[in-house]
Amino acid sequence: MKGNPLIAFWKDESGVTAVEYGLIAGVMAALLVAVLGLFGDNLKELFEAISETLSDATDVVKNGSSEEP
């Protein structure tokens, strides 16, 4: 007799890494949702400001001059 199969199952560590990676991915997803929920409006404003700045810079390159003196 090789022993108790329940004990062998309990000591078997194959597949543990996949479970750990799954837990890490789940926690990271939850943190991402929380951060975006808290700072969503600020991030939107930041990206809008960046977009406007890049658009202005593109206009300067196309037209050869800026609107500001």
Sequence-ordered alpha helix ranges (H) in 1-69: 5-11, 16-63
- On whether the CB atoms of residues 43 and 36 are closer than 8 A, the answer is yes
pLDDT of residue 65: 64
Long-range contacts of 19-22 (CB under 8 A, 24+ apart): none
- Give the model confidence (pLDDT) of 5-47 as tens digits: 888 877 877 777 888 899 999 999 999 999 999 998 899 999 9
Residue 48: how many CA atoms within 13 Å on its side-chain side? Answer: 6
CB 66 within 8 A of CB 60: yes
Q: Which residue has the tokens 């202005």?
A: 56
Name the band, by pLDDT with cuts 50, 70 and 90, for residue 59.
confident
Please report the pLDDT score of residue 33 as a whole number. 94
Answer yes or no: pTM beyond 0.75. no
